Structure 1
Amino acid sequence: MARLAYTTIASLDGYVVDASGDFSWSAPDEEVHTFINELERPTGTYLLGRRMYEVMSVWETMPTGPPTSDGQPDPDAVTHDFARLWQAADKVVYSSTLASVTAPRTRLEREFDPAAVRSLVASAQRNVSIGGPTLASHAIRAGLVDEYHLFLTPIVVGGGVRSLPDDARVTLELRDERRFSSGVVYLRYQATG
């Protein structure tokens, strides 16, 4: 059975973007990126808001390999792997302002309909991921998110765009945790009610 997951990389104080609009501090290193690739491997569909679609559009044309021919490890192997995963997945972009989408395997929806998302997840053969805090807040409020994957970055930014909505209450059970050498901490929660 497919699950709807929300994955976010946030500052320790809970922001995905700081007050100046910067999120470069959240770029995962190779160890974290490799872990994220494995986490995303079962994902067949991404649900995105307009801003997240624009940020992630770089992955649509990112090279996907091949490894170097001299037998040396490909320095971009992790990046290429994620590009392959991203390009192979379907995407649904929710936007009332975007004129169109140009990426392959991508469709545009004008509004977020919880019943339609529930149906999409129920009929999916692979997991569904919702990206971006604004769109995810709609799914969280509607009780649609099954799993929360939080990557906490060792930085306090003091303001910006919050990773989780202020006006939602969800009971969670910790299912997994991991600490990375960079100080990033991964927490996986399952919604219990």
Structure 2
Amino acid sequence: MAKLIYVTNVSLDGYIEDEHGSFTLFPHDDEVFAFTTDLLRSAGTFLYGRRLYETMAVWETDPALAAQSDLTAEFAKVWHAPNKVVYSTTLDAVSTAHTRIERHFDPAAVRQLKATADSDLTVGGAHLATQALQAGLVDECHLLVWPRLVGGGKPWLPAGTRADLELLDERRFANGAVHLRYGLRGQ
């Protein structure tokens, strides 16, 4: 059975976006970027909320991003390959290949997707990840923790979310960021 992995960048005080809704909290770093590309390379399906999908879709729809460097070209290739499921009640159409819209998160459908997948799935977006976590579907959380305090915004998981985690791996980067890989106990 494939794993469902929550992957996110997070500030040291626990936020994935600032109080204005910006995802641009985290400066570009080649080492972290290459690591993230390798982390996503094994995924066969990305599960996204609408806002994160719209933010990430440019990796397929804007060829200028891939043309910036070998690193960005590789990330664009890795992002383009998997299937994508976008959970949205408002999105009318998608702008990327291998992408479908689901109107509501259905834990049974995701459980079936995990059971039949040949490779792991990732979930992105705090709201969607919380639904998957509460349904007992998340197997691992991969946090890229950046040495930055934001002071407010959207937390990587909402208040009241509870789970017991086990540290499986860690990696420190030269810029002070840390990758923490946790497994969920009891999964």
| TM-score, normalised relative to structure 2 | 0.94
Cα RMSD of the aligned pairs, angstroms, is 1.8
Q: Which runs of 5+ in 2 are unaligned?
A: none
Match of 2:161 in 1: 168
For 1:1-193, list aligned pairs within 5 A: 1-63=1-63, 76-193=69-186
Verify the 8 A CA contact 1:47 1:130 in the aligned structure 2: yes
Q: How many residues were matched structurally?
A: 186
1:143 partner SS: coil
| 1:73-95 alpha-carbon deviations (Å, 9 max, x no partner) | x9711111110011111000000
**Percent of aligned pairs with the same residue?**
51
The offset of 1:170, in angstroms, is 1.0
Residue type matched to 1:5 in 2? I
| 1:95-120 alpha-carbon deviations (Å, 9 max, x no partner) | 01111213110000000001111110
Verify the 8 A CA contact 2:47 2:122 in the aligned structure 1: yes
Q: Tell me how far apart the structure 2 counterparts of residues 107 and 163 of structure 1 sit (CA, whole Å).
A: 25
Verify the 8 A CA contact 1:45 1:91 in the aligned structure 2: yes
2:25 partner SS: helix
The offset of 1:65, in angstroms, is 10
Q: Tell me how far apart the structure 2 counterparts of residues 160 and 25 of structure 1 sit (CA, whole Å).
A: 11
Moved more, 144-153 or 54-63: 54-63
Verify the 8 A CA contact 1:12 1:153 in the aligned structure 2: yes
1:40 partner SS: helix
Verify the 8 A CA contact 1:11 1:154 in the aligned structure 2: yes
The offset of 1:64, in angstroms, is 9.4
Residue type matched to 1:44 in 2? G
Q: Which runs of 5+ in 1 are unaligned?
A: 67-73
The offset of 1:174, in angstroms, is 0.4
Verify the 8 A CA contact 1:174 1:190 in the aligned structure 2: yes
Relative to structure 1, the CA distance from residue 115 to residue 153 in structure 2 (aligned partners, 3 Å threshold; closer, same or farther) is: same
Q: Tell me how far apart the structure 2 counterparts of residues 121 and 51 of structure 1 sit (CA, whole Å).
A: 23
1:138 partner SS: helix
Of the two, which has the highest radius of gyration? 1
Verify the 8 A CA contact 1:52 1:132 in the aligned structure 2: yes
